[in-house]
Amino acid sequence: MAPGALQQRQMISSPSIKPQFNFTFNANENRAGLSSRDEFGNIIHQLTQTDPFPVSGESPPRVIKTHAAIRTEHYLLNTNFDDLDRIRNSMHPRDVENAVNKYSLYVENTVKGLVAGKFAEAQGPNLLNKLYNLMCLATTIRELNSLLRNKFRDCGGTNLLINNCDSNDPRLQYSSARLLVECLDSANLDYVVQHGLVKVMHVVHAFRRQEQSTVVQSKVSTGLLAKLFGHSEGTCMRVIRLQGLDVLLAECQSRDTVTLRNCARALANLSLYGGTEIHHLMVLRHAHAWLFTLAFNVDEIVEYYALLATAVLAADKTIEAAMVKCDTMDLIDRFLATHVPADLVRIDAQVGQVLGQRRRWLQWLVPVLSCDRCAAHTLAAFHFCAEADPACQLRHGEITGTFRTIGAVEPLKKLAGSLNDVASGLAAQALRGIGEQVPRPLSQKVPLWMAEDVLQWAKSTGFEELAERLVDDRIGCVDGNRLLMLNEKRLQEHVGIQNGIMRLRFMRELHKLKQLTDYRCIDPTNLNSFLQSIGPEFSVYTYCMLNAGFDSESIRYITDDELTSKCGITNGIHRSVILNYIKDN
């Protein structure tokens, strides 16, 4: 041994740094490599590997030895994690394997020492902060990330942090709560919900009640709420009853970006996992109004999560009126006009929180694809399109099976064949990303539709059986013109639909179609724009008025009787609104 190495060995082994406590660390003898102890009982875990890429000019491969010495309090506090940056850049399998062996042992011995109370009391927060730094660095190394969190929980770390949330030591309470946020993967979250929800909510309220609540405390408390609201509907309701939603909305006033990201993400989770009752509670506490403020934030993550929560809430018909009044829905179109799905992949690469969510999270987003609100289902299609992006799949695994399992493929196909150009394009791109066949897109120029277009539209709206009747030559094959002229009476007498509920459903879908139709091919004076200026719902009368010979000029002289007899507008209130609007304008 070289003299310098001997001197260094003597310094490390000096009695002056011998620990003042005595307990046995787990050496994990079954792990790859060799384990031994020095004269003070410190574990030295030696890994040997062969360099697969020898330096040019060297004939035999080099043998590299790495030592992960799992020592005592002194070692645990002074270990740095610089090698994780190199591993993250290269992601070489051997490097990852070495890191797994080294840091799983580090976590095990640190946590077991803390649980056993073997460290000096003042060092508890410092060791927890070291674990926090390690967990943050390991986040982008999937194998290491998962293993360390499992190891942490199995060694009693999650239970330790839950109990520390009740601590009277503010340093210990904060360091424990901050580490808990970082460790709350699916399994740890289940454990917290089952064994320590009240204690965790205690620390959330403790941070909020302080006279001078700090920004770092707000980050932690909102981070905890974001994770808890992403667990289940039952947990969401329990947290709301523990005033978690009130704390969250109070934090929406923050100017800190991380805190606002957590707030927006928590509201998105609450919207997705919460049912109708929770949605009503959100409206009652004006959460939907705060979404409007968050959606104007300059940070893209805050903006996107706020808009996603808005889309989910808007899909709930029981609170639709409240969502329309807060105007946040209008901001979705603005976001979609300035972003493409690749932007979401780029954002996710920066923060690692947007895409690759758990299957259940995506499953709750599927109904939004089929909702009536155009902006809402278009944003949902945008999200699924980003999930299907190859760059996202490389990080988060195969998404094709997930899309099929949660039932997202059929709603995407219906959107891909819809008249909404933006939603149709996004859905088609998502389907191509998972190797699914993309339906032929329908033109918005419905008056020019052929019978096969009518057939495709009927099938996409859930009227497969009726579709065959519409294109039956015996009753007169229905093309775009005839489709736009259909009413309940004709559906019953000519198409043979005797079921009144089915007729109403069909007319509702037909009204949506009429509102989306591009009439410019038969409407040179732009009568449709005039009717839309009265209200979006009045555009359903465009075709019947054009067919009756009226345009934006001659409509000035139309009478109530003509609206009824020639145009077939049976709704008296709508006739009155049209006539009054013509008179006033």
Residue at 344 is within a domain: yes
pLDDT surpasses 80 at 14: no
Q: What percentage of the chain has pLDDT greater than the value 90?
A: 46
Say if residue 361 is in the same domain as residue 266: no
Q: Closest Cα to residue 160, out of 139, 138, 145, 175?
A: 175
Residue 161 lies in a domain: yes
In a domain, residue 370? The reply is yes
Whether residues 432 and 452 share a domain: the answer is no
Q: Which of 486, 511, 536 is where one domain is finished?
A: 511
Instruction: Kindly state the helix (H) or strand (E) to which residue 112 belongs, with its residue range.
Output: helix 93-116
Q: What is the pLDDT of residue 57?
A: 47
Do 30 and 125 share a domain, yes or no? yes
CB 161 within 8 A of CB 183: yes
85 pLDDT band, cuts 50/70/90, is confident
pLDDT at 2 over 70: no
Residue 531 host element (H or E): helix 527-534
Rounded CA gap, 165 and 482, in Å?
68
Measured on CA atoms in the order 362, 366, 372, 378, is the torsion positive or negative?
positive
Phi and psi at residue 34, in whole multiples of 5°?
-115, 140
Is the domain of 64 the same as that of 148?
yes
CA 13 – CA 106 distance, rounded (Å): 20
Structure confidence by residue, pLDDT tens digits, 384-409: 999 888 776 544 457 888 898 999 99
pLDDT of 8 over the 90 cut: no
Q: Which structure tokens are listed for 544?
A: 């019947």
User: 382 lies in which domain range?
Assistant: 339-441
* CATH number of the domain enclosing 460: 1.10.150.50
Same domain flag for 381 and 485: no
For residue 460, what pLDDT is reported? 79
For position 125, what pLDDT does the model report?
93
Indicate whether 137 and 42 sit together in one domain: yes
Q: Considering the entire predicted model, what is its pTM?
A: 0.75
pLDDT at 476: 57
Give the range among 103-117, 250-264, 294-308, 465-479 with minimum mean pLDDT. Answer: 465-479
Phi, then psi, of 184 in degrees rounded to 5 = -80, 70
- Assess contact for 380 and 403: CB atoms under 8 A: no
Contact (Cβ atoms closer than 8 angstroms) between residue 34 and residue 67? no
Return all residues near 490 (Cβ < 8 A) that are at least 6 apart. Answer: none
d(CA 119, CA 72): 9
- Grade residue 38 by pLDDT with cuts at 50, 70 and 90: very low
Give yes or no for residue 491 having a pLDDT over 50.
Answer: yes
Q: Please answer whether residues 433 and 394 qualify as being in contact, where contact means their C-beta atoms are separated by less than 8 angstroms.
A: no
**pLDDT 10s digits, 352-391:** 677 767 788 889 999 999 888 889 999 999 999 998 887 7
Query: How far apart are the C-alpha atoms of 141 and 318, rounded to whole Å?
Result: 43
Residue 12 included in any domain: no
Q: Report the CATH number that the domain containing residue 221 is assigned in CATH.
A: 1.25.10.10
**In-domain check, residue 547:** yes
pLDDT tens readout for residues 157-184 = 999 999 999 898 999 999 999 999 999 9
Domain count along the chain: 5
